[in-house]
Amino acid sequence: MTRKLDRSNALYERARAAIAGGVSSDARRLPGTPLYLEKAHGSRLWDVDGNTYLDYVLGQGPAILGHSPELLAEAVSAQMRRGVTYSAQHLTEIEVAERVQSMVPCAELVRFNSVGSEAAHAAIRLARGHTGRPKIVKFEGHYHGWLDPVLFSVHPPVDQAGPGDQPVPVPGSAGVAAGQAADLVLTAWNDIEALTATIARHRGEIAAIVMEPVLCNTGAITPEEGYLAAVRQLCDDEGILLIFDEVITGFRLAPGGAQQRLGITPDLGVFGKAMAGGMQVSALAGKATVMESIAAGKVAHAGTFNSHPVAMAGARAVLELLDEKRDDIYPRMERLGRRLMDGIGAIASRLGVPMLIHGTGHLFQLYFTEATDIRNYRDFAATDRSAMARLHGLLLDEGINTVPRGLWFLSAAHTDEDIDQTLTAFEKALSRL
Ligand code: PLP
């Protein structure tokens, strides 16, 4: 089935005359016309041409309760009438910080920002300022926002990226300050020998190791047994701070994020996306001894919109629900996600398509590959990513919206009927590939 997109096509043409490239974030560029939505509710989207979609993008992760949940609409509209922005202190920010403290293992103290990139930037500034050391260890394939210090080697062309165990930093854009690379040390993830050797080469210079504790920007890869514990130990031995970027995993894989699910507590954690169900809130949370450098004013952290009253009202309502209904929401998302993963796997084998499926259920990734495992970026880069892009288009035509690189997010609003409908649509899409 091909969709009718007359109005979307016309809006895209109009947009390109007013908005650079027609979209406001590069993540929304598609090979064809991007989605032009009229509304989003629960697990569904409606576009301007009257097409409907079951949504597994969820605003790139935030809409963990589904789209436009009533409790968020009420919390936000009530605060709108009491003041949109104060740039002053208020009770709600304290309540949200206390909720984060009680949910997230590393959160002894918290600071708020608006988006994940800012909070990740704050974590890196804090690590350097607190330790007095210049370098950050970053892993190939991990994404920590679009700002210069970390926009290196997210999905680099492998032929420019050096050897797998000692990659060279490849800037993710023209215009990234080349000097930033000098203080960034790249290595392979899920490989403790490579990390140990990297640290030995830069002993005494490394402020922090930053990672996505479950890698979600390059597949959905859970670390190998013992890897995070070994990284934690290495950090303790070398006086290096461990930063978990939980912008995707936070409040999604468990109420306390990947650190709670996997049982390893970092020194600093970065949160965003799901923590406010779709409002723009991010947070840097960490050990009090480290956050003290911000508390004392040694390391600068600021922002006009930080702890924005309307966004905080949204975060308070969403976090309260996630916390209080944790025994219902998290197992349910996981069960539905795993049903989908199993169903997709069964369809792929029935159609004879080599496919690997990784994830926890709350989110998961499909790969077109004959490989039996994907451990890091180099493995991911060897999968058939152009077939995945084609499948993304075919799924849209069947009314299923997924992240183009093959990632799927579940929400508390998805139902068993949604999963049935998705599997029927998936079989049609895959058989047309
Ligand atoms: N960190 C991770 C792991 C992310 O996935 C993202 C965004 O996708 C970011 C940081 C940046 O967050 P934002 O897009 O809100 O700036």
pLDDT tens digit sequence for 221-244: 999 999 999 999 999 999 999 999
Structure tokens at 208: 């922090």
Residue 54: its pLDDT value, please?
98
Summarize pLDDT for 256-274 with one digit per residue, the tens.
999 999 999 999 999 999 9
The answer to whether residues 148 and 176 touch, using CB atoms and an 8 Å cutoff, is yes
Structure tokens at 169: 């930093």
Residue 75: its pLDDT value, please?
98
- Catalytic residue at 39? no
Q: Which residue's CA is the closest to the ligand 1 atom numbered 3?
A: 247
Kindly state the average pLDDT of the residues 110-122: 98
| Beta pairing partners, 365 | 358, 407
Count CB-CB contacts under 10 A for residue 191.
Answer: 18
Q: What is the pTM of this model?
A: 0.98
- Which of the four pLDDT bands, split at 50, 70 and 90, describes residue 15? very high
Write down the domain spans for the chain.
Answer: 6-68+327-432, 70-324
Q: Could you tell me the CATH superfamily of domain 6-68+327-432? A: Aspartate Aminotransferase, domain 1 (3.90.1150.10)
- Catalytic residue at 53? no
Kindly state the average pLDDT of the residues 295-309: 98
Summarize pLDDT for 338-394 with one digit per residue, the tens.
999 999 999 999 999 999 999 999 999 999 999 999 999 999 999 999 999 999 999
Phi-psi region of 188 (alpha: psi -120 to 50; beta: other; left: phi over 0): beta
Structure tokens at 54: 């079951």
> What distance in Å separates the CA atoms of residue 211 and residue 242, rounded to the nearest whole number?
8
Q: Write the DSSP string, 351-363.
A: HT--EEEEE-SSE
> What distance in Å separates the CA atoms of residue 233 and residue 272, rounded to the nearest whole number?
27
245 CB less than 6 Å from ligand 1? Answer: yes
277 CB less than 6 Å from ligand 1? Answer: no
- Which of the four pLDDT bands, split at 50, 70 and 90, describes residue 430? very high
The answer to whether residues 387 and 430 touch, using CB atoms and an 8 Å cutoff, is no
H helices present in 17-115, as ranges: 70-80, 91-103
Q: Which residues contact 8 (CB under 8 A, 6 or more apart)?
A: 33, 34, 35, 36, 47, 48, 49
The answer to whether residues 42 and 67 touch, using CB atoms and an 8 Å cutoff, is yes
Sheet holding 37-41, edge to edge: 37-41, 44-47, 52-55, 400-401
222 CB less than 6 Å from ligand 1? Answer: no
Instruction: Note the ipTM here.
Output: 0.99
Atom of ligand 1 nearest to the CA of 27: 8
Fold of 70-324: Aspartate Aminotransferase; domain 2 (3.40.640)
Rounded to the nearest angstrom, the gap between the alpha carbon of residue 11 and the centroid of all alpha carbons in its chain is 28
Residue 2: its pLDDT value, please?
83
- Catalytic residue at 4? no
61 CB less than 6 Å from ligand 1? Answer: no
Helix H or strand E segment including 187: strand 184-187
Q: Is the pLDDT reported for residue 137 higher than 80?
A: yes
- Which of the four pLDDT bands, split at 50, 70 and 90, describes residue 55? very high
Q: Is the pLDDT reported for residue 165 higher than 90?
A: no
Residue 98: its pLDDT value, please?
98
Q: Is the pLDDT reported for residue 175 higher than 80?
A: yes
Per the prediction, the chain carries an average pLDDT of 97
Kindly state the average pLDDT of the residues 80-98: 97
Q: Cα-Cα-Cα-Cα dihedral of 419, 385, 347, 343, to 10°?
A: -30
